[in-house]
Chain A
Amino acid sequence: MMRTFTPWLVLACRLGVGGVFLYAAWDKLLHPQAFAQAIHFYHLVPASLLHPWAHLLPVLEIVVGLALVLGLLQRGAALLAGGLTVVFMVAIAAALARGLDISCGCFHTDGGHGVGLELLVRDTVLLAACLPVVFARRGGPGLDDLRRH
């Protein structure tokens, strides 16, 4: 069944997930300090990794987002996107379990959406959209086609 995903479904998933990652990266890239503060409020990242992570994550989101949109190394990009989404879900679940009333820091560093169950639902949808790209027999149209020829 995994092999029946059409290239167009894969393309739609790629563009959707890639677009979300590119959009999410922008504000974090512009405001690393505010993003570091948002990460710190989760109390999951040690001080020694806080700033490196605040710099790395938006760049990783851009690399993954661009790869998905352009269709370059798309399976690997979707795997990374899924992995990142799982990390986000664990962080949100941990915050909810501890009753933290914090901003999620997902898209905007100046306040933004507070952590809640709806974010887990949203990330589940995002994770589900990564699966066709990772598992499909044929990827959607993209730069990977040029690599194969």
Chain B
Amino acid sequence: MPRRLFNHDGKQGRATLGQAGVLLGAAVLLTAVSWALRPDRLPLRADVAIYDLELAAPLIEVPAALVLYEEGMHIFVDTRPTGPAAASGLAVPGAVPIRPGSFDDDLLEIFDFVGPDDPLVLYDDGGLLGASNIAARLLERGFTDLSIMAGGVAAWQQAGGETSVPAAEREESP
């Protein structure tokens, strides 16, 4: 069969398989190098639970979000509710708040500097559904370039991202 399968003889067939092996090995090596070097690499083991959620916007891991933050082209959006429901008093520096309870007011507040064409990275306390709900409402308002950061502020902080206390909470504290 190999003699008929490959055009010349068994030697040619083995050479073809050898070439395929070399290319496959090169691809594996390049993948390992690029995985080690790229800042937005995925963790080796996937948490498939987050993939099973039907999110309104694509999910990005924290390393990828950190890259976007460093590039400075994306606007980060804090979607956590204020008050006792908020899981953490920290926020991504420069993030604008768009909360579920004050969605329209918050959108009006940032109307002058955040438009539907701006790329937004939404985050919440890590549960993803809060950010996804806000993303769904933003999509209805014509926003198109949305993504949701996995893990929330806790994962952001763990990955070495800067944090700050949101202005609203600074005003509330004595």
Contact = CB atoms under 8 A, between A and B. Distances in A.
A74 B12 CA distance: 13
Contacts of B43: 51
Interface string A110-128: 1000000000000000000
A76 B43 CA distance: 31
A41, A60, A83, A137 pick with most chain B CB within 10 angstroms: A60
B73 interface: no
A47 B49 CA distance: 10
A2 B44 CA distance: 44
Size range of the chain B interface in the assembly: 35 or more
Interface SS of B by simple majority: helix
B45 A76 contact: no
A102 B120 CA distance: 25
Contact of B27 (A41, A54, A63, A137): A63
A76 B46 contact: no
B42 A73 contact: no
Contacts of B16: 75-76, 79, 134
Nearest to B18: A76
A23 interface: no
Interface residues of A, number: 38
A3 to B, nearest CB: 6
B27 A56 contact: yes
A103 to B, nearest CB: 12
A110 B58 contact: yes
A80 B28 CA distance: 13
Contact of A75 (B19, B31, B41, B59): B19
B48 interface: yes
Contacts of A135: 6-7
A105 to B, nearest CB: 12
A40 B54 CA distance: 13
Contacts of A143: none
B44 A51 contact: yes
9 contacts: A33-B59, A33-B64, A40-B48, A47-B47, A51-B43, A52-B31, A55-B42, A76-B18, A136-B7
Given A33-B58, A76-B20, A76-B23, 19 more contacts: A3-B7, A32-B40, A33-B59, A33-B61, A33-B64, A47-B48, A52-B31, A55-B41, A56-B31, A60-B24, A67-B23, A74-B19, A75-B15, A76-B17, A77-B19, A79-B17, A80-B20, A135-B6, A135-B7
Interface of B: 6-8, 15-24, 26-28, 30-31, 34-35, 40-48, 51-52, 58-61, 64
